Amino acid sequence: MKLRMNGDSLHSGETGRVQSRGWRHRFVSKWLGLIPIALIVILTAVLAISDIHASMAPPVLFPILNTLFIFGMYSIAAYFAARTFLKTGSWQLLSFGTGILMLGTSATLAAWLSSVGGLNLVAKIHNVNALMASFLILSVAALAWKGVSPRKEPGRLRILITAYAAALAFIALVMALA
């Protein structure tokens, strides 16, 4: 006799009889998903009441991880955008690469300065540079919407170096003024 599932009951293929799994199975399957949510609520309440302010992370862990993951990945993206700009002359990729380079560099520098300058300095450096980087990335959409096509210019490398250097100089200026 073969049994096949159909919702909350088992059907016998030969006789057509329905064998119910019972109320316990339905109750458990409906309420089992609430256990993790209840545990999160309970743990959040316990941690809020206990008022723990200790940090167990080493102080250089945050800057090291920012350097590896944020700066590393954003630098790779900026490198590929630069290579593609040099081959195609796409202004969108130049703007995207410059914005990504600014965002990765400012996040990493802010992380390294977090133990030295305090949170206000970190927030100023990161937020101002993130705003500028977002304008550059927004310009990618504007250039694509306008339909700017790549041009064959002989000085693409010089344009690329100027754009990336200007982005890094802007970061240095923000750091100096912060």
pTM of the entire structure? Answer: 0.63
3-state secondary structure of 109: helix
Task: Tell the burial category of 35 from Cβ atoms under 10 Å away from its Cβ (0-12, 13-18, 19+).
Answer: exposed
3-state secondary structure of 55: coil
pLDDT tens-place string over residues 42-54? 998 888 888 777 7
pLDDT tens-place string over residues 118-151? 778 888 888 898 999 999 889 888 888 888 777 7
* Residue for token pair 């743990």: 43
Q: Where are the domains of the chain?
A: 3-50, 61-177
